[in-house]
Amino acid sequence: MRKANPAGYGLVLGGLLVCVGGPMHPHGSMDSLEAHMISMMESPTWVLSHVIAMTGTVLIAASLALLARSIRPHALAPFVTVAAVGASLAAIEYIPHILAVTELEQLRVGGPAPITRTHELIAAFSGPLFGFGTAVLAIAVAVTATRHRVLWWTATIPAVVGGTAAGLAVPLVLVTRDVQMTVLFPGVAGVAVWYMAFGVAVALRTQAEPTSAPARTELAQV
């Protein structure tokens, strides 16, 4: 008997919210990195866009954590776990990211901005872990799939391209201080699109074990 798995629906909704929050993100000045940050924080959509994206990321993290306990084949579990940790850290990073707007005046005059620095520090780790973690998970799912492999490898493209871009974005921005590197941030949309596709597969392939055993998610047969 097939049994619905909330992880699948959580991934779809989480990915959708990230895709909604992304386009709402303010566009900053490309004059310098500092001007870029200040101009974005001055936008009225700074908080709302990030709250929506954070909600989606929280859903993705929670869904992956739930899925890690039931996914089949077992070989996928470590990849799901790493992606869940990356999504969790990315969700946490949104807190100082959003609150950095309270330091707008300090940033304008070049004063100390500890919340902004905290956001950058966490993002230096959460970005690569979430981006690369998702890209590797997408490849692992495609490799272990026994049906519709062409579709899974096709779906891997936005995850790998977007995940790589998102994973490199913050480290490159912080190391080079080059505002042009910010063009990599929208790569997270590719990650979100893959999670929506993955979520649909999870929702469709979750089955119940005989008797009262917990549901398992048989992705190898997708």
CA distance 220 to 222: 6
Kindly report the CA angle at 49 between 28 and 186, in degrees rounded to 5? Answer: 60
Residue pair 145/2 in contact by the 8 Å Cβ criterion? no
Cut 0.85: pTM above it: yes
Whether 148 is covered by a domain: the verdict is yes
Whether 81 is covered by a domain: the verdict is yes
Whether 133 is covered by a domain: the verdict is yes
Q: What is the pLDDT of residue 204?
A: 86
Q: What is the pLDDT of residue 59?
A: 98
Whether 1 is covered by a domain: the verdict is no
Number of domains in the chain: 1
Domain span at residue 44? 6-221
Strand partners, 166: none
Q: Which of 158, 185, 166, 84 is nearest to 127 (CA)?
A: 166
Per-position pLDDT tens, the chain of length 222: 455 678 999 999 999 999 999 999 999 988 888 899 999 999 999 999 999 999 999 999 999 999 998 887 788 999 999 999 999 999 999 999 999 999 999 999 999 999 999 999 999 999 999 999 999 999 999 999 888 889 999 999 999 999 999 999 999 999 999 999 999 999 999 999 999 999 999 998 754 444 444 455 655 445
